[in-house]
Structure 1
Amino acid sequence: METESVRDTLAANLRRARVERGLSLSEVSRRSSIGKSTLSQLEAGAGNPTIETVFSLSRALELPISELLDTSRDTGMTVVRAAELDVLSGEAVDLRMLRRIELDDAIVEVYDQQVRAEGSQRSLGHVGTEHTIVQAGRLRVEVQGGTADLGPGDCVAFDATQPHSYTALDGPVRSVLLLQYRPGNRLDLSGRHGLLGE
């Protein structure tokens, strides 16, 4: 079975989201701090997207990450094979989107997250409440000045609009990342932290 790559999915969803909002490539470039030529490559399916790129586009377009990465919204039994998923890599994290679950009053995105031993993965913030459940290894999570060290079976939840970071403490970390938000939530970029549309 042939699967659509993250690159192709992002290309189609980025173009659709930009056109729906009536934004030019120049405006998305300004909002995201991503070069216009890089955006053009991403829309053509020729770019090499990173986690940081997708998060920046999510912020600039005021939409959930899954709307840039999701290929379908099927119902019923779904089997996700690790070998069929593209990895979206960042400074210190490898992320695979497993599922997007739509409920009446919430959307939950499920990710397989691996934090590499080198460096820290930082985020300026994005839509939703973030939940991380450590499966193996020890993980340091920092959110707006607060720090928590987690081991296998531990879970942390926080307002993902706040700047946050992940650091593996003693080697690689395997974890499950859940992003939860309400349909229509957008990040408030006017200088105040928080969500619009609640």
Structure 2
Amino acid sequence: MSEEMRAATKATLAANVRRLRVASRVSMSELARATSIGKATLSAIEHGRGNATIDTVVAIAAALRVTPADLLTAPEGEPTVVTRARTGEPVAGPLGPGWFLDGADVEGAVELWDLRLGPAERRELHPLPAGRRALIVTGGRVLAGPAQQPVELDTGDHLSCAAASSFAIEVVSDGADVVVVLLGAR
């Protein structure tokens, strides 16, 4: 196996373990107990630094109620892109220096929505034939993104994904403020 393939497999495993653990609302400690794998080892795997054995992959899959293949296979469709708050260096843009979050060349409507959500509140959008969805968390913490692949986002984080699947936003703090951008067909 080439070094590039090994790195890609570790990255896929890391992203899938974290995504599925968060979606299942299982803490790192709970997963460690369920699998008899140390928290440090699980953390290393989730951050793409650990070398998971096949037994480890099978144990994690069983605890998350998925197959080992679900952990080792990249999700189909366009990727969900997450940009953590203020990561990287600012770049020159039309409004001066700033952090570029996302761009799209779309036809159709562009809508911006500012939402204030209460504790444990959940909102869903139905799939659309075309377009993209983007979300910026301006306060609080949420699980958001494609309904089957939510990502935990904190204040300042940004997420962008295709509109072809159901999209969900669920508050996991005392409340949250988010800006949702709908690009393309309605």
TM-score when normalising by structure 2: 0.37
Return the structure number with greater relative CO, CA threshold 8 A, min gap 6. Answer: 2
TM-score when normalising by structure 1: 0.35
Larger CA Rg, structure 1 vs 2: 2
